[in-house]
Amino acid sequence: MAGQVKDINSSKQRRKKNIILGFNIFLFLLPALFLFVSILIAPIVMNVFWSFHDWNGMTKDMTFIGLKNYQKLFSNSVTLNFKVALKNSLILALFSVFVQLPMALGLALILGRKPKGERFFLTVFFMPVLISTVVIGQMWLKIYNPDYGLLNSFLKLIKLETWTHIWVSDPKTALGSIVVPTIWQYVGYHMLLMYAGVKGVSPDLREAAMLDGATPSQVDRYVVIPIIKPIIRVSVIFAVTGSLKAYDLVYILTGGGPQKRTEVPSTLLQEQLFLANKYGMGSAISVMLIVLCFACALLITAAFREKDN
């Protein structure tokens, strides 16, 4: 009997203790939860809700229109060409994955072979990552300037005057003039990640391969690259989702023009909000971006797993 009473008491005590513990855990999580829920989670829920409505963000009347916003996104509208925006993001993503990442990998592999001045090169190659995109954008605007810019002056200097363009305003070259700085800025970022991976490959493994008669490039191909595959996967995810999210350089260099040819989803989003006051449509674009980012991350992860098997 006495034992049972004790048990009940202790289980009561334990429950009390658990409640106190739970409360403490909650308090520890509270600041993070507050930030996370108020700025990230709640807005996503609101976005999904608003995206089913026609709403100008000012009046109280919100009309439920179901999936119409999404339908409109994929119809051929002149003022809101989401398909062109997606296509531009896709082009940016393709250049990132097939030009930027191979460049980054090449540089990482070269630096992994311990050339003279390894630290110096590593430091210099990473520098553009630290510069604000606004600065980079403004700098490139000065380079692209049709009258006084570096690029046209250089072309004139080497007598290639026919190659000169009004770069950012010429429909033919506008997207290209966004792609080049974008790729240039982040080569260093991916290089650093891959370099860390390359450095993580044990020297014994390299030496063993060399003793078996492998050349340095064969070592890179058959030993190093398979080992750093998880890092390459992360880089591909960052490159693709980064292209979907592209905004800064597009806004600064072309503002989506000429004739809306270089529009990306984020510049469309901003136009819908501030020029057209279409909050429902803005939300629909946001939701599409979230879905696409998650889908791409999952697909890339799956693709890499598939390859391994």
Partner 1 sequence: MKDMKKAKMVDFDTEYAPKSSNPVGKVIVTIILILWTVINIFPIYFIFTFSLKSNDEIFGNNIAGLPRNWIWSNYTRALGTGNMGLYFLNSILVTGAAILISLIAALMATYAITRIKWRASKLANAFFMLGLTIPLQASIVPVFFVLKELHWLNKYSTLIIPYSAFALAMAILICTGFMVEIPYDLDEAARIDGCGLWRTFYQIILPLMKPAYATVGIYSYLQCWNEFMFANVFISDSAHRTLPIGIQQLSGSYTTDWGPIGAALVIATFPTLIFYISLSRRIQESFIAGAVKG
Helix (H, G, I), strand (E, B) or coil at 53: strand
Q: How far is the CB of 98 from partner 1 (least distance, A)?
A: 18
Q: Say how many CA atoms lie within 13 Å of 239 toward its Cβ.
A: 33
The answer to whether residue 302 forms part of the interface with partner 1 (CB under 8 A) is no
Tokens at residue 192, please? 């650093």
Which C-beta is closer to partner 1: that of 94 or that of 129?
A: 129
Alpha helices in 96-247 (DSSP H): 101-112, 118-130, 133-144, 150-157, 174-200, 203-211, 216-219, 225-227, 229-245
Q: Return d(Cα 74, Cα 92) in angstroms, integer.
A: 20
Site for partner 1 in 84-103 (CB under 8 A): none
Q: CA torsion 187→188→194→196, rounded to 10°? A: 180
Site for partner 1 in 111-150 (CB under 8 A): 113-115, 117, 119, 121-136, 138-139, 141-143, 147-150
Q: Return d(Cα 157, Cα 149) in angstroms, integer.
A: 12
Measure the CA angle with vertex 44, ends 40 and 48; round to 5°.
Answer: 175
The answer to whether residue 29 forms part of the interface with partner 1 (CB under 8 A) is yes
Site for partner 1 in 269-298 (CB under 8 A): 269-270, 273-274, 279, 282-283, 285-286, 289-290, 293-294, 297
x/- letters, 157..196, toward partner 1 (CB under 8 A): ---------------------------x---xx--xx--x
Q: How far is the CB of 5 from partner 1 (least distance, A)?
A: 28
Options 18-26, 78-86, 93-101, 167-175: segment touching partner 1 (CB under 8 A): 18-26
Which C-beta is closer to partner 1: that of 12 or that of 17?
A: 17
